Amino acid sequence: MKKLIPMLALVAATQAAYAQPAKPTYSYFEGANLSIGMAQNKTDKTDNGTTTSQSTGVGIAKLNYTFALAYPAKLGVSATFDMKSSGISANENLAVNGVSEVTIEPGILLRSDSLLYAKVGSYSSRYEYSGSPSRNLTGTSVGIGIKHYVYGQNFIQAEWTQRKADDNGAGLAGIKFKQTSAAVLVGFNF
């Protein structure tokens, strides 16, 4: 018992030394955050003027780090992972190939708890056709999104993204791929 009281006093003093003032709500957008959710991907393949398309529901995960700029601006860097392949037709799909997109996301605070942002970056996927070898594709990704903090560091997020893999040297000359994605996510800022 004699050692317990000094030990508790030491722990209490240590905790007080680490105490920091509460963050203002607009700073919740700064730092690392993780979000997961669902997206509806509409994938179009255009080959010699003929377009085939299909919609696929996929799970997605997103890692983001947001930097503070001059108030009210923010700048995020994100990596998005599709958890499932997106279908093009019964025998074709754009398969998961690691990170689906890496984007830069400049944004502006609408209120202290809402952030509107644009996204621009690169897109990566793998074209698979049954019976044929797969081919890696790369392209561009652009979009817009909004984050809204609902409680503390928890947020909901909605995004619209367009991904294109037009110029590919993967043996698919003349074939263009375009994917439009609408997503809803929930997340936490660390």
64 vs 185: CA distance, rounded Å:
13
Cβ(117)–Cβ(106) below 8 Å: yes
For the residues 65-74, what does the mean pLDDT come to?
91
**Which domains are delineated in the chain?**
25-189 (2.40.160.20)
pLDDT at 107 over 90: yes
What is the identity of the amino acid at 189? N
Binned at pLDDT 50, 70 and 90, residue 168 comes out as: low
pTM: 0.81
153 vs 112: CA distance, rounded Å:
12
**Dihedral pair phi/psi, residue 184, rounded to 5°:** -125, 130
Pairing assessment for the beta strands 154-165 and 175-189 based on DSSP bridges = antiparallel
Tokens of 112: 């202290």
Kindly state the DSSP code that residue 70 receives in the 8-state scheme. Answer: S
Binned at pLDDT 50, 70 and 90, residue 97 comes out as: confident
Per-residue pLDDT tens digits for 13-55: 655 555 444 556 566 678 999 999 999 999 998 888 888 889 9
For the residues 155-165, what does the mean pLDDT come to?
95
